[in-house]
Amino acid sequence: MNPIERALRAVDRTQQQHRPLATVFGVIKKYGDDRGGLLAALITYYGFVSLIPLLLLLSTVLGFVLHGHPEAQQAVVDSALADFPIIGDQLRENVHSVQGSGLALVIGIAGLLYGALGIAQVLQHAMAEVWNVPGVRRPGYWPRLGRSLALFAALGTGLIVTTAAAALVGASAGGTLARVGGLLVSALLNAALFLACLRILTPKEVATRRLLPGSLVAGPLFTVLQAFGAALVAHQLRHASAVYGFFATVIGLLSWLYLASQITVYAAETNVVLARRLWPRSLLQPPLTGPDQEVLASLARQEERRPEQHVDVEFHDPENDSDNGSTPGPDTPDSDPGPSKHP
């Protein structure tokens, strides 16, 4: 064993022996096993493409719901656009509600809804990947469409509630106290909204209580991202605008959306790791720990696409196989933990 491997083995033993470290490493390892970076990139792309249709849809719906109260409608729209770094002012000036006759309005809303469905569909896909739901058990198009509409309703309601709460806090206090109070209220509301969205997006067999830990983590992180993310992105791109010009705003927005996507995926992975007790994980293999085997087995069974298909997973000890001079085969004794009873 070389010095580098010896040091890594020592680090591995330390993290496996301490539950907080093992849990954090389990979340990071599960994120990598599920290709969380690719899921976050996919969410970022569809979020970027769906952004304008969603904002137009929000403005149009608010025009009906808050008819006769243009100040309230503008306050909600401004609060939504203020969360987007770099291009918030441009969006605020150019995004308006869809107007026209009854038929044209229905067609316009339907087109906006279709254009915004991509982000809801990919979020459902991401949650199914995180929870390793086999393809054969994933919902069809119409159930997914119903969940997408429910997600938009939850997001719209949450936006109105958070705007009203922020206005109430700002009116009741001033200065630093108002700022701190607004952040605390925002963190709680973001956690509740994230929990509601996860409940819509996550498979029904997962109990709601299993979604709470990740929501409590994501709520404050989203509040920090909303409060300081725009300033951080602007700071990072202060010299980029001279080189990239207008495209620097696109880079800034994509960076902000990617951070939000990573928070979403990591929060969901936290729920899975805690619900299935997927720790300790090994930093170096062999040997595989029990949670290592469970995750690998779940990834394999996730590929079932048809009711006629059944995936069995076996694990072999490579040292015993090499000592016996045998080649692992279907008749070799295995250490398959059996089907996991996932929540």
| Per-residue pLDDT reduced to its tens digit, 122-146 | 999 999 999 999 999 999 999 999 9
- Tell the residue number behind the tokens 């993310």, with chain if given: 229
Query: Quick check: is 226 in a domain?
Result: yes
Q: Is residue 48 within 8 Å of 254, Cβ to Cβ? A: yes
Between 192 and 109, the higher pLDDT residue: 192
Buried b (16+ CB within 10 A) or exposed e, 276-302: bebbbbbeeeeebbebbbbbebbbebb
Question: What was the pLDDT predicted at 116?
Answer: 86
For residue 153, what are the domain limits? 19-276
Which of 305, 228, 269 is closest to 26 using CA atoms?
Answer: 269
Using the predicted structure, report yes or no on whether residue 97 has a pLDDT greater than 50.
yes
Q: How far is CA 119 from CA 54, 63, 144, 208, 225, in A?
A: 10, 23, 12, 22, 19
Banded pLDDT at 70 (limits 50, 70, 90)? confident
Question: What was the pLDDT predicted at 106?
Answer: 76
Query: Quick check: is 281 in a domain?
Result: no
Query: Quick check: is 176 in a domain?
Result: yes
Question: What is the percent of the chain with per-residue pLDDT over 70, rounded to a whole number?
Answer: 77
Q: What is the mean pLDDT of residues 12-36?
A: 96
Using the predicted structure, report yes or no on whether residue 227 has a pLDDT greater than 90.
no
Between 17 and 253, the higher pLDDT residue: 17
Between 303 and 101, the higher pLDDT residue: 303
Question: What was the pLDDT predicted at 235?
Answer: 64
d(CA 293, CA 297): 6
pTM, to two decimals? 0.85
Tokens of 209: 């209580």
Top-confidence range, 31-35, 45-49, 98-102: 31-35
Question: What was the pLDDT predicted at 336?
Answer: 46
Buried b (16+ CB within 10 A) or exposed e, 223-250: bbbbeebbebbeeebeeebeeeeeebbe
- Tell the residue number behind the tokens 């933990």, with chain if given: 337
Between 170 and 30, the higher pLDDT residue: 30
Q: How far is CA 3 from CA 6, 10, 235, 281, 297, in A?
A: 5, 11, 41, 22, 32
Query: Quick check: is 318 in a domain?
Result: no
Query: Quick check: is 128 in a domain?
Result: yes
Query: Quick check: is 196 in a domain?
Result: yes
Q: What is the mean pLDDT of residues 252-279?
A: 94
Between 23 and 234, the higher pLDDT residue: 23
Using the predicted structure, report yes or no on whether residue 322 has a pLDDT greater than 70.
no
Using the predicted structure, report yes or no on whether residue 267 has a pLDDT greater than 70.
yes
Q: What is the mean pLDDT of residues 204-219?
A: 94
Total domains in the fold of the chain: 1
d(CA 110, CA 150): 15
Q: Is residue 272 within 8 Å of 283, Cβ to Cβ? A: no
